[in-house]
Amino acid sequence: MADLNPAQLAAVEAGDGPQLILAGAGSGKTRTIIHRIGHLISARGVAPHRILAVTFTNKAAAELKSRLSELIGDDGGGVVSGTFHAISLRLLRRYAEALAYPRSFQVIDADDQKALVKRILKQANIPADRLHPSFLLGWIEHCKHAGQTAEQAPACDWNGVDLRGLYSTYQQQLREHERMDFSDLILNCVLLMREHADIAEALQRRFDHILVDEYQDTNPVQHEWLTLLCAGHRNLTVVGDDDQSIYGWRGADIRHILEFERIWSGAGTHRLEENYRSTGAILDLANAVISKNEDRHDKSLRATQEQGLLPQWQVCNDEYDEARQIGTQLQAWRDAGYAWQEMAVLYRSNRQSLALEQILREQGLPYRIVGGVGFFERLEIKDALAYWALLNGCGDALQLMRICNRPKRGIGLKGQEQLAAQLSGSGLRAHEWLDLVAEGGVGGVAGKLAPLARLIASLRPQAGTLPDRGLMALLQESGYLDSLQAMGELEAASRIDNIHTLQRYIELTMEQEITPIEFMDRAALLQSGEEAGRDDENEESVTLMSLHRAKGLEFDCVVLPGVEEGLLPHQRALDDGEAGIAEERRLLYVGITRARRHLKLTTARVRRLFGETHYPLPSRFIKNLPPSMLQQDTPVATASAMQNNSGDMGVGSNVLHPSFGEGVIIDFEGSGDAIRVTVQFRKAGIKRLMLKYAALQAA
């Protein structure tokens, strides 16, 4: 244990009873967990099989096993380790009969789970445009994460549908098929211990010490699982960082780690604050950002590395200029000797990837999207492109088949086969055949497409003049956008926002005077990852991924785009009040602490959001930081930007008004004493002011 620092050593050698190890980013938490287990075995005489180590991923469990074996040899293999779900499954194999399940029950996979829910909704005569299967599954999972059975779930009416009743039906059919879903594994273990005291006591006697990693990510049912399992001996060691609690949206409850000392009286607390990953300058920024959160354990990361270069903050003209500036920076890091795979662009919203994908491909830079799909691979984007292609006379049979029943038009699989045969037999191209359908010239199942065909025909003259127009009208009037609402408010908003982003991309691309067919070719290249595009994971490439998926990873060079109001913090978080803002601040902290050597943050003066042009303010998380924390690099504005007489204000300048508060200049007009400025204020909206009398100050 000679390589442990004093704080790590104190945590390793702590006695019995509850122990809270607050492990800051890059502070060697895995090393500390491994050595504590080793100490329990070698110095305290605890039998390896009497120790349970709980992780959140199979990868983490495998790494723990491997490193433990390296430290203490064969004894490491005797430690029981795994995820909450894996350990629960192991316990249920032994005790399932107490819940009236056979020991041979199976865990239903995602495809079968969705198919089961679809059958339930069909039996109940509930169409997908009224209640989407994925929304119902998400609601049921939310209840299970909260530790609620179908009987305990809150009453919930969605579009006139009783969700609690469907939850009950879903559980009944799972039981009839002798199946449990993934979330059932933990909940049913909790039910075992809630309802069967003898089983609870047996399980409590099974282990002498329990250790849990990433404790800040536990949800209520996992918390109860641990509480029940440790009730006898209270030898619970949890390792986590409240400053990295970023999964509240999927049920994680930060109070479990914040209130650990209250919940577990007499708990020992250990702070790991020495960071072995990042430079001092990066950690200074991270500490300054997270210190603004009030409800947190007091701690501050200290660098063991050199001070290094200041993180950069660059203000760009729009999201495409932002992507170009990012590409330029990535190339500069490459020229400085850093490998592509040691660079990452971490964004708040997946829709930010569109501009990045397009520009990085144009610049010939290799990239890969991790843990998600490319923009053009998303279901709603494929659907929207199919509609657009048919509207603009370049759609084919496959695209027609894709959207013929989206939204539902009563055209099932047999109907689609008939449509395909009718189209093939006509010898016409898809858009020509649709014109014939619109005129009533095709009978049979094609009649169900007549309203759509007539709508496309009515919008085509507009599209012929302006090919970038008409998409949103077509999707709205066809009922497609309304059909997305069945997925739930947040999911629908995200998908519709992606479609607006596509519309913006179409507008910008068609300005290059290309044909609709040429546009579809470009989209196909982006979708397939040809040319520079998405490289294989084993090849050298820049990583593009969301901030949420980046947790636990580290890179030499990191870019965080869109550090601005409405993105980071996200608009949904702003609507959630202080709790939402605090989690967004933690998300930025996670992003900052992924960087080892170099960090760049970017903000756009103008960004398209939800189909509208916005003039975002820089994120509150960085706006009021001391100037010494960041090296600000603001490129020259576009040719349309004009300066006022004093030369210190221009389009994109942040200003302060005595009455309207904070804002950003979005336009200048006039000259001399007649200059008028248009300002987007944070609270007061857009105002046009005479600059001479406006009393604006640089913010």
The number of angstroms, rounded, from the C-alpha of 24 to the middle of its chain's C-alpha atoms is 22
User: Which residues face 544 on adjacent strands?
Assistant: 345, 369
| Complete DSSP assignment for 471-483 | HHHHHHHTTHHHH
Q: Please give the Cα distance from 367 to 381 (Å, whole number).
A: 21
Cβ contacts of 100 within 8 Å, gap of 6 or more: 175
Q: Which residue has the tokens 């994109």?
A: 652
Q: Please give the Cα distance from 444 to 407 (Å, whole number).
A: 19
Residue 58 — φ and ψ, nearest 5°?
-65, -35
User: Which residues face 635 on adjacent strands?
Assistant: none
What long-range pairs does 644-648 form, CB within 8 A, spacing at least 24? 644/668, 644/675, 644/677, 644/691, 645/672, 645/675, 648/698
Is 27 marked as a binding-site residue? yes
What are the strands of the beta sheet with 80-83, ordered from one edge? 80-83, 51-55, 209-212, 236-240, 19-23, 268-272
Q: Please give the Cα distance from 346 to 334 (Å, whole number).
A: 18
Q: Please give the Cα distance from 255 to 672 (Å, whole number).
A: 58
3-state SS, residue 633: strand
| Complete DSSP assignment for 347-379 | ESSGGGHHHHHHHHHHTT--EEE-SS--GGGSH
CB 221 within 8 A of CB 147: yes
Q: Cβ–Cβ contacts within 10 Å for residue 69, how many? A: 15
CA dihedral sign, ordered 190, 196, 199, 202: positive
CB 652 within 8 A of CB 315: yes
Q: Cβ–Cβ contacts within 10 Å for residue 352, how many? A: 23
Q: Please give the Cα distance from 339 to 555 (Å, whole number).
A: 10
- The residue type of 319 is E
Is 336 marked as a binding-site residue? no
Residue 372 burial class via C-beta count within 10 angstroms: exposed 0-12, middle 13-18, buried 19 and up: middle
User: Count of alpha carbons within 13 Å of 27, Cβ hemisphere only?
Assistant: 28
Cα separations (Å) of 288 from 347, 526, 629? 20, 39, 8
- Report the number of secondary-structure helices (H) and strands (E) in the chain: 28, 26
DSSP collapsed to 3 states, 416-448 = HHHHHHHHHHHCCCHHHHHHHHHCCCCCHHHHH
The number of angstroms, rounded, from the C-alpha of 564 to the middle of its chain's C-alpha atoms is 17
Q: Please give the Cα distance from 46 to 40 (Å, whole number).
A: 6
- The residue type of 176 is E
User: Which residues face 179 on adjacent strands?
Assistant: 106
Is 25 marked as a binding-site residue? yes
Is 529 marked as a binding-site residue? no
Q: Which residue has the tokens 């991923």?
A: 57
Residues taking part in catalysis: 29-30, 213-214, 244, 594
Is 30 marked as a binding-site residue? yes
Is 26 marked as a binding-site residue? yes
Q: Going along 487-576, which residue ranges are E strands?
A: 542-546, 555-560
- Binding residues for ATP, by number, are 23-30
